[in-house]
């Protein structure tokens, strides 16, 4: 268990660094990254992750409060 915790700490530290952030940006912006993200989001686990990330994104994007509140209110609802 300790090696797992240490590895997670190393990964988190790297991803928080300027070079880690640049790597994330480059991958997410690439065609390959976009395909990988879409494939992951098509899975049940990916959908749950997307909802969790969306709630964080709503805290930092500049949208009118009524739009943010509407999205939060409707998360998880199906048409």
The percentage of the chain sitting over the pLDDT mark of 90, rounded to a whole number, equals: 70
Query: Rounded to an integer, what distance in angstroms lies between the CA atom of residue 47 and that of residue 5?
Result: 25
3/35 same-domain check: yes
- Verify that 24 and 3 share a domain, yes or no: yes
**In the predicted model, is pLDDT for residue 68 greater than 90?**
yes
Considering only residues 1 and 43, tell me which one the structure prediction assigns the higher pLDDT: 43
Q: Angle between the 18-29 and 31-41 helix axes, to the nearest 10 degrees?
A: 80
Tens-place pLDDT, residues 9-45: 888 999 999 999 999 999 999 999 999 999 999 999 9
Is residue 41 within 8 A of residue 33, CB to CB? The reply is: no
Q: Select from 45, 73, 36 the least CA-distant residue to 58.
A: 73
Cβ-contact 57, 71 below 8 angstroms: no
Give me the domain span that covers residue 69: 43-79
For residues 52 and 35, state if they share a domain: no
Query: Given this model, what pLDDT does residue 44 score?
Result: 96
């Amino acid at each position: 268990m300790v090696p797992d915790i240490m590895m997670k700490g190393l990964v988190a530290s790297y991803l928080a660094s300027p070079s880690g952030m640049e790597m994330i940006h480059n991958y997410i912006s690439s065609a390959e990254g976009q395909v990988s993200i879409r494939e992951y989001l098509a899975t049940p686990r990916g959908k749950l992750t997307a909802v969790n990330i969306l709630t964080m994104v709503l805290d930092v994007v500049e949208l009118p409060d009524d739009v943010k509140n509407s999205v939060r209110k409707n998360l998880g609802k199906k048409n």
